[in-house]
Copies of this chain bind each other. A is one copy, B any other.
Amino acid sequence: MSPEVAVSAEKASAAGPLLVVSAHAGDFVWRAAGAIALAASRGDRAKVVCLSYGERGESARAWREGKGLDEIKALRRAEAEAAAAELGADIDFLDAGDYPLPESPELVDRLVRVYRDFEPAVVLTHPPADPYNGDHPAAARMALQARVLAQAIGYDAPGEPLGAPPVFFFEPHQPEQCDFKPDVLLDITPVFDRKRKAMECLPAQRHMWDYYTDLARRRGVQLKRNAGPNLGLAHDTMAEAYVRLYPQTTDVLA
């Protein structure tokens, strides 16, 4: 192999910054906290961008308790900040509103600027179909459009044109109904404790703690099944599932 490819495509992109684009303030915790904590534990920068706080659609308990809109936003923000801190990630809030999350050129442009500024090597977002929640696909469409625009030298925003960071969709609440067929199972065993603590930063959704702990165990069983019995995997392997948007580029089949 000539010197210029001595660093493989895979390793180079593995070592870089991780960007997570999330429709609501809590989504990144249930679905991608393991990947975020792994990146941080490797020393990679990680950033979460929440397009909204999930103030209308994901805060039922607060509404039932009679809280007001601004109060709810502040509450969700504080929870998400605590969870991000637990995982070792920065977090930004674009406060674009939810239910519905409005798609607009302006919001896409804000995301382009995030890409140009943060220069992610890996991008995580929602999968493009979710018949239970229109905000999730809306966030995905904007995250994907902004990524392509940020690649164009002619797009008028500060910074250098973006490379082609791979995109992974994280797992929706009802995967089969969202046509989510995992093609990556990520071993999050060493950081699962941090994922659990991040989940516990969201006390209003306590019923989700166990649901997503069970899911991590279930995906862990599947990881072991797909990895084979001989790899020295921990008994209680915990995992997250992802779907790639683009083909993997690599110099080794494994």
Contact = CB atoms under 8 A, between A and B. Distances in A.
Interface stretch (A86-94, A178-186, A198-206): A178-186
B168 A148 contact: no
A193 to B, nearest CB: 12
A220 to B, nearest CB: 10
Interface residues of A, number: 100
A222 B211 CA distance: 11
A231 B133 contact: no
Interface in A168-202: 168, 173-177, 179-187, 189-190
B231 A154 contact: no
Interface string A1-33: 110110111111110001000000000000000
B250 A186 contact: yes
Contacts of A42: 252
B163 A230 contact: yes
Contacts of A185: 247-250
Interface string A231-246: 1111000000110111
Interface centre among A35, A211, A252 (most CB of B within 10 A): A252
Contacts of A153: 60, 63-64
A247 B131 contact: no
B134 A234 contact: no
A201 B250 CA distance: 27
Given A13-B254, A186-B251, A234-B4, A154 B102 contact: no
Contacts of A177: 181-182, 246-247
Contacts of A149: 57, 99-100, 134
A226 B55 CA distance: 22
25 contacts: A2-B190, A4-B232, A4-B233, A5-B187, A7-B232, A9-B187, A38-B252, A38-B253, A57-B152, A60-B161, A99-B152, A131-B246, A132-B225, A164-B225, A164-B226, A165-B228, A175-B176, A176-B181, A183-B183, A183-B247, A185-B250, A186-B251, A214-B218, A215-B218, A227-B249
